[in-house]
Structure 1
Amino acid sequence: MTTDAAGTSEYDRFGPWIDEVRTPSDVPRLFRDHPLDLDAARLVLKVPRNIARRDATPDMDLYDHLLVLDAHALTTLSRRPAVAAGRRGGASPAGFSTSTVPLVDVVAVRDDVSLLDGRLTIRTRDGAELSVPYNGSAQARVADLVAGLRVAAADAGPGVVGRALRDAARAAGPSPLEPGHDDVALASAMREIVRRHPEVTPSACHGRVPLRPDATGLRGRARLALHALSPATLHGAVLATDDVALEVVGRHAWVLRGRSPVHSRSRLVVPLAALDGLHVAPHPVYALATTATLTAGEARLELVVPTGSVAHALLSDAATRAADAGARTAR
């Protein structure tokens, strides 16, 4: 077996971190057939395979994804899993797949991290999802990509629903970042977002809330008994806005069952220009929870907040403002 200098360099530099690609020699060997214009790109990141350094060898293709952000689109190159005919640890004969998402079609970006398990998910107007797993230690690089997507979203002003949400947040005023002892990490995450994007203003913050299901009828009593063994918790969150996007920091799920500690952290970014609708309604199971459904094309995004909280009031106000603006337009 022989290994070229580029392959050796790729192997020598391999680790769990996400690196920025600045020169042609930085491009992983697997993806070099792709016509990549580094001069036109705003940001190019290479995402390593989720393997231990000791399990890597110089002949492997060591990167799972190449993320290319330019002025118009986000292109993702993804390594195809090896097949029996492929080289050990390398790519299949097809090599890699390519997915290109126009930036105008991006309606939500979600970054979830639980310990070292990270996942970046991009939702598009047709309801599709692009998901990229990564090592959670590289979250700062993912934040760079989210910032780049935010810059693109700033080119389009908010529509009726986006303006209603922004105005409702302004009317609510700034919120202190005090979600409680169990959710201090969420407040810290929002402070980091504000540090990177000073125009972002937190408008609602709440801690976790124990939930009890409706106990009416036989089914309700059975459900209540199950919750006694595995209680439900609506986890804390921080809602913030600027003229570009709604920012929500919370956990990987709104409502979780069980008694195990939750260490995940999630950041949801929704461009205000992408929003088409906002509907607020009681949660179908828990009386102390309210669901807000954001629509953007075929995509549906749900937020679950405590009933009667500042977040509930803000979202309800935004829904009313959007409905009133739509009614005036229809006249």
Structure 2
Amino acid sequence: MVKRSKRMVMTVLLSLLLLLGSVFPVSASTWNLKGDTNVHDPAYIVEKGTGTHWVFSTGSGLQVLYSTDGTTYNRSLPIFTAKPAWWSSYVPNQSGLDVWAPDIFYYNGTYYLYYAISTFGSKVSAIGLVTTTSISGGKWTDQGMVISSNDSSSYNAIDPNLTQDEKGNLWLTFGSWSNGIYITAIDKSTMKPSGNAYRIATKSGGIEAPNIVYNPNTGYYYLFVSIGKCCSGLDSTYQVAVGRSKSILGPYVDKNGTDMKNGGASVIDSGNSAWAGPGGQDIEGISIIARHAYSAAENGAPKLLISDLYWDSSGWPYYH
């Protein structure tokens, strides 16, 4: 009788676990993704109302993936099928419809999709913006140029990330490599900069893909970045790193207390034998991190990885 009861309990528990596995698209930490997961610099969001999971990424026309369950992804049509007229004015040498490192943000009933256009090894760049009230509807409105740079600029206008501080103010972080990461206040009516840009991080050897997240449980702002070299397949040295600050404007310091303006950055993901060069990360809320990494099993193809994001007892993020 006791043995039978134990078997019944185990059967119920197993059934419950299987049910939970069918409802929630995650494993213990890293999600088991299927379908078309070829991406670079992913931006992840779950659409209000429909519950559809969307991933926007670097590529021709700005690439789009979607999933109804969070695990099996399909490729949708790109955002752009032709160049907006203003692109050529700011980045005349841009190749075709090549679009970089988008960021998606939902605010007051509208989805704001920021992106960058540029060329490798140049600061002749621009961040643009398109908007929609329904991602599933597929109709986007070009809002033009947000911020631009040239070879004499102090920053490089790529890798945008929009964030909201604890008081509800909006900020755009952006930037890359030798001149580092910058932040600027955003006007809520135009969703474009309303003042100067301030440098908050630099690092020799490469730093880009900024994401700022406020964690109300710790009272810190966290600046996630990718350090090292991207875009070289299995030879990529990208790593996901982080620092934190009590103010959105910094200073951001790593676990050793080194200011990120002086090269500080605590690595939380340096890849492994299966996945090289993780980076181009996007943080959803405070509990999900999406990024790309190069698959050893597929000869260095850039693939989408999504994981649960955790916080240790000292208030630092981690995942596995």
**TM > 0.5:** no
Tell me the TM-score normalised to structure 1 length: 0.27
Structure in which a larger fraction of residues adopt helix:
1
Tell me the TM-score normalised to structure 2 length: 0.27
Structure in which a larger fraction of residues adopt strand:
2
